[in-house]
Amino acid sequence: MSLLLHLVRHGAHDGAPGRLAGRDPAIRLSKAGRREAAALATSLGGPRLAAIVASPQPRTVETAEILARGRGVTIDAALDEIDFGPWAGRSFAELEDDPAWRRWNAERDTAGTPSGETMADVADRVEGLVADLAGAHPAGSELALVTHCDVIRAVLCRALALPFSRAFDIEIATASRSTLALDEAGARVLVVNHTPSDAFQETLREPVA
């Protein structure tokens, strides 16, 4: 029997549209984001989950708390947003004038952010957490990791043996889940970007940076 790992992106947030949110702790879930998370919780959340682990960012913690339905949430820095350094908070239009930003998006297999973090680094830190969780929970358990778009893309690229330059081929909507089955043979990707239809419609009405 496999361990099921649900990778959940946080709901829509209240950060300024068109800007890179990064690790700004002032950014929280928007009203639409709370509705998205509540919709996801109807099919994922509560007693069925053996553990819910979240990135330290408030928007992920708030999403995790909605899924937890009063149960505990564990915070782990391994799920944190990519460390974008001085890029965080800048508009995407402004970043397009930065050659390093363009390289980061064009060459994800080798490029790093100004802090030096690469997509491989991100995948490695999540894999370390997953190994610890797998050792602590029996086969058949379901776990939810609430994190960020590119973090999920990094994990899925690694699981699918895709180069990180293919990351943008994977759509990860807000309050979506992507599910992996883990066993002795490794990781199998079962679901990518599943979003309850009503929550997805709310996302279309409120753009997210």
**pLDDT per residue as tens, the chain (209 positions):** 799 999 999 999 999 999 999 999 999 999 999 999 999 999 897 788 999 999 999 999 999 999 998 889 999 999 999 999 999 999 999 999 999 999 999 999 999 999 999 999 999 999 999 999 999 999 999 999 999 999 999 999 999 999 999 999 999 999 999 999 999 888 999 999 999 865 444 444 444 44
Give the H or E element holding residue 105.
Answer: helix 99-106
Amino acid at 64: A
pTM: 0.92
Q: Helix (H, G, I), strand (E, B), or coil: what is residue 70?
A: coil
What single-letter DSSP state applies at residue 90?
-
Give me the domains of the chain, ranges plus CATH numbers.
3-202 (3.40.50.1240)
Relative to beta strand 186-194, strand 177-183 is antiparallel
User: Which string of b and e fits 30-61 if b means at least 16 CB within 10 Å?
Assistant: bebbbbbbbbbbeebbeeebbbbbbbebbbbb
